[in-house]
Structure 1
Amino acid sequence: MARVLLFVAVVVCSLLLLNGAHAAQEKNWVVIVAGSNGWYNYRHQADACHAYQIVHSHGIPDEQIVVMMYDDLAYDSNNPTPGILINKPNGPDVYNGVLKDYVGNDVTPENFLAVLRGDAEAVRGKGNGKVIHSGPDDHVFVYFTDHGAPGLLAFPNSELYVQDLDKTITQMYQQNQYKKMVIYIEACESGSMMVNLPPNVNVFSTTASNAYESSYACYYDYDRGTYLGDLYSVNWMEDSDQKDLSSETLQQQFTIVKEKTSGSSHVMQFGDLSIGEMKVIEFQGNNKVPAAAAASTVSTKPFEDAIPSPDVPLAILQRQLQKEENENLANTIRQKLHELVEIRQSMQQVVKKIAEMATYSEEQKTRILNGQSLLSQHACYEAAVVAFKNHCFNWNLPKDAASHVEGLPRTKLIRHVVPTPLLTTNCSTIILIRVNTFINQLFLDYHFYIVMNLCQKECYPFSCSIFCCFLRLIK
């Protein structure tokens, strides 16, 4: 009998040791990305810094967190509090202690995907070279905030296309690089990045908007002259600040954020919805660490001044004009407003001209300009976007142009393939005003559908190639 009891004791102890070893190997990894730069985009890096503070305070060690942000704001000349960034009015400093793994020109789609894949060789000599080393028992939480358009997310100097993100997720799944993964995306048309996410790759995602609409900025700050946060983002982060994440589920957080964001954009969920029943702490924290003390519970209402992201440059100028008492400075602001409106109108004329030349009837043109369709011709779409960017308007020019152009139309033209040769004529021949001063972010966060609409069915019988994606612009 004694031997039996001894045997049972040994087995139990062995199992406990195995379970303990297994549990010790489980890790939570976090990747946080702010894809913009420039003062008028303040909110994106403030969002990212706030997200870092949440996961850090809830017990995820820095060696398991990767942060990518341009890091040009804390000591910007426009910052009335050098070295401090806030994510809501009178809020705490979210910049202090934040990781800076990849900054400046190292914030790229290629580095982001390499970080996810754990490809240290691909980021050798870039940033600090940190990647996540997630394994089959680990959870991964990804948060991205910036501008977007159908099928793409913006980075400071380039774009991440949905097919490249899909490929990376699939590769990670096939190579057992995670047990469960959660992705939160703040961007216009962010739903288009996840709408085809399969339910069988153990990924759950929520997005700030559906595939056809803008996301919203919020918390305008007169002292800083910019918006401090994005509505979807501050809603999930303020919820994480105040709730017990060991008891709240991802689905509950989604429901709260969706309700608080309603009336602005449609917060969406995709992928394996069963993951939504898991606790938030399983991705945004560490179960072994006591719940962090709630941040300030002072009631805030970010929805009160929420505004579509495309209208941020216009709204900033209008608010500056309202506050400005010096008539000379007020006239300067009025001139900037006038130029912004002129450029929007001119861009709309270019888009209309392209649509007229690319279609065969008024009905077809109207459908292209006003219709909604999901992206399917990915290769053609990317080629068309690149060609349009190279030959017409480059939305990644220096930050001094950014505040004037974000609201220009995202064209729908590339959604349907155009059966005509590659665009070669300089688009500035159609624009009679100083376009080159205002061509940063001109498509992103407005109506990029026209570009995508022309990259779908119309040209398919002619085959889809880079030479099929664009028409010539003639004076």
Structure 2
Amino acid sequence: MIVSFLVLTLLGVGSVLTYQLPNGGKIWALLVAGSNDYSNYRHQADVCHAYQLLHSNGIPDENIIVMMYDDIAYSNENPTPGVIVNYPNGTNVYQGVPKDYTGKAVTPEVFLNVLKGNADAVKNIGTGRVLESGPNDHLFINFVDHGAPGLLAFPDSELYADTLEQTLREVARNKRFAKMVLYVEACESGSMFDDILTDTLNIFVTTAADPLESSYACYFDEYRQTYLGDLFSVSWMEDSEKENLLRESLHHQYEAVRHRVNTSHVEEYGNLDIGALHISDFLGFHMNGLPNAAMPAVPKVQGSVNNRNVQVALLQKKLEASTTPKDRYAIKFEIHKLLKLRHHLESVVKNIALKVVGGDEGLVYPLVSHRQRLTRDIFQCYKSNPYTLGQLFVFVNLCRNQGGNEKSILAAIDGICLAKPMVEGII
């Protein structure tokens, strides 16, 4: 086990604790919110909160890189411009957050190049900063967004499990870290690592959900009319703010979060021996090395919502808060339209499956009811819509059913999609 140590520097009457790893190692962090749009407020709120946690724990800003679309703080829908909170009555977590890569720069390619330390590849993009880590350093990677079997979503594209695994191997081979920890918040996030990530790379991963289930949003805010956080994310951060990180291990935090998150199965992957290390080895620690006594009590989570159903839930909350018949009618119409579009999308997917199996309804049922992991991009039609992510398992099953023959599947996709109108907007 790596033993960390402290250096105490006296400054006047006060004292500052500086955290160091063995052999001059440093802690580096890469924080990524992969979504945009105010309805996904919680993702950027999670990442901003993560930055504040690391910053208050003594990790210098030059060692923290943040990727987020940055369209939430000053959104027309945000009643508190310039303010983002991550839990009810919380403090502003947006203030001071570095904006290394924003807007269209939030892509899988930029993320992977930052992780690899490939400065040439991100030259003239955002701040151009990358992880300048070495063989004695610890990396903390936090990704928050939507997901699907075998992929993590970015605003305009996706990161696939095989691509991430290859990059992790490359970073390990190039000795760019001693130990790495990834915390991943996304639906089916376990599918990015289950039976994929080897335990020989000195990488420890915790995911919000197993390979087959959704993660959950929480903390609905009546004033802001949105969900402030994701249950897995707020749980590990709130645990970090109340525990002594010099003593609490990664595995202890995993168990604490697993018990609090009762809506999905929080999982751990990779080299589980790293779970015995103290959290301070990756997140730093509060200046006094003890839980922050000034932190408010952890709010009780009520009404957590499947991340795929957030858009419907937001409209239902809006309906409950409406006060005029005209507003209620308009919102009900919007809900009806949204549900109709979802039904339309599900119908398209089922028709593709029917076309592939020659119209045999008996074969289609297991295809649309049994989930497997997706490992490649075979669904272009409607892919720009987040609700589509919940349908991708059907195409995985089609691949398995057809023995890997993608020609018939792609022909069916083209045939059905060309005859159907595209669904626009978030459903």
TM-score (normalised: structure 1): 0.80
Q: 1:237 to 1:119 in 2, by over 3 A?
A: same
- The residue number in structure 2 matching 1:434 is none
Separation (CA, whole Å) in 2 of partners of 1:279 and 1:23: 14
- The residue number in structure 1 matching 2:153 is 154
Separation (CA, whole Å) in 2 of partners of 1:466 and 1:368: 13
TM-score (normalised: structure 2): 0.89
Tell me if structure 2 keeps the 8 A contact 1:459–1:468.
no
Matches within 5 A, 1:348-359: 348-359=346-357
Separation (CA, whole Å) in 1 of partners of 2:339 and 2:203: 42
Tell me if structure 2 keeps the 8 A contact 1:148–1:190.
yes
Give the AA of the match of 2:203. V
- The residue number in structure 1 matching 2:260 is 260
Give the AA of the match of 1:221. D
Identity, % of aligned positions: 43
Matched, 1:163 2:162: yes
Q: 1:295 to 1:69 in 2, by over 3 A?
A: farther
Matches within 5 A, 1:242-281: 242-262=242-262, 264-281=263-280
- The residue number in structure 2 matching 1:338 is 336
Using the TM superposition, give the Cα deviation of residue 289 of structure 1 relative to its aligned residue in structure 2, in angstroms.
Answer: 7.5
Q: 1:457 to 1:199 in 2, by over 3 A?
A: farther
Separation (CA, whole Å) in 2 of partners of 1:471 and 1:105: 28
Separation (CA, whole Å) in 2 of partners of 1:124 and 1:30: 20
Write out per-residue CA displacement over residues 107-166 of structure 1, whole angstroms, 9 at most, x where no aligned residue: 110000000000000000101000001111111000000000011111111111111111
Using the TM superposition, give the Cα deviation of residue 349 of structure 1 relative to its aligned residue in structure 2, in angstroms.
Answer: 1.0
Matched, 1:127 2:126: yes
Separation (CA, whole Å) in 1 of partners of 2:287 and 2:240: 17
- The residue number in structure 2 matching 1:406 is none
Q: 1:333 to 1:215 in 2, by over 3 A?
A: same
Separation (CA, whole Å) in 1 of partners of 2:152 and 2:20: 39
- The residue number in structure 2 matching 1:442 is 387
Using the TM superposition, give the Cα deviation of residue 457 of structure 1 relative to its aligned residue in structure 2, in angstroms.
Answer: 4.6
- The residue number in structure 2 matching 1:25 is 24
What is the aligned counterpart of 1:393 among 360, 366, 382?
A: 382
Matched, 1:233 2:176: no
In structure 1, runs of 5+ residues without a counterpart are 1-19, 396-439
Using the TM superposition, give the Cα deviation of residue 453 of structure 1 relative to its aligned residue in structure 2, in angstroms.
Answer: 1.5
Separation (CA, whole Å) in 2 of partners of 1:124 and 1:32: 19
What is the aligned counterpart of 1:458 among 386, 402, 408?
A: 402
- The residue number in structure 2 matching 1:329 is 327
Equivalent pairs counted in the alignment come to 398
Tell me if structure 2 keeps the 8 A contact 1:393–1:442.
no
Using the TM superposition, give the Cα deviation of residue 299 of structure 1 relative to its aligned residue in structure 2, in angstroms.
Answer: 3.6
Separation (CA, whole Å) in 2 of partners of 1:287 and 1:46: 21
In structure 2, runs of 5+ residues without a counterpart are 1-18, 420-427
Q: Going by fraction, where is strand more abundant, 1 or 2?
A: 2
More off after superposition, 169-178 vs 364-373: 364-373
Matches within 5 A, 1:96-135: 96-135=95-134
Query: The residue matched to 1:455 in structure 2 has which SS?
Result: helix
Using the TM superposition, give the Cα deviation of residue 455 of structure 1 relative to its aligned residue in structure 2, in angstroms.
Answer: 2.5
Separation (CA, whole Å) in 1 of partners of 2:312 and 2:287: 47
- The residue number in structure 2 matching 1:316 is 314
Separation (CA, whole Å) in 1 of partners of 2:192 and 2:346: 25
Separation (CA, whole Å) in 2 of partners of 1:368 and 1:456: 9
Tell me if structure 1 keeps the 8 A contact 2:66–2:100.
yes
Write out per-residue CA displacement over residues 321-377 of structure 1, whole angstroms, 9 at most, x where no aligned residue: 1111022222211111010011011111111111111115434212211112234xx
Query: The residue matched to 1:178 in structure 2 has which SS?
Result: coil
Give the AA of the match of 2:229. G
Separation (CA, whole Å) in 1 of partners of 2:66 and 2:327: 38
Tell me if structure 2 keeps the 8 A contact 1:58–1:289.
no
Query: The residue matched to 1:454 in structure 2 has which SS?
Result: helix
Separation (CA, whole Å) in 1 of partners of 2:406 and 2:398: 13
Separation (CA, whole Å) in 2 of partners of 1:198 and 1:23: 25
Give the AA of the match of 1:157. D
Query: The residue matched to 2:387 in structure 1 has which SS?
Result: coil
Give the AA of the match of 2:355. M
- The residue number in structure 1 matching 2:282 is 283
- The residue number in structure 2 matching 1:472 is 415
Tell me if structure 1 keeps the 8 A contact 2:57–2:287.
no
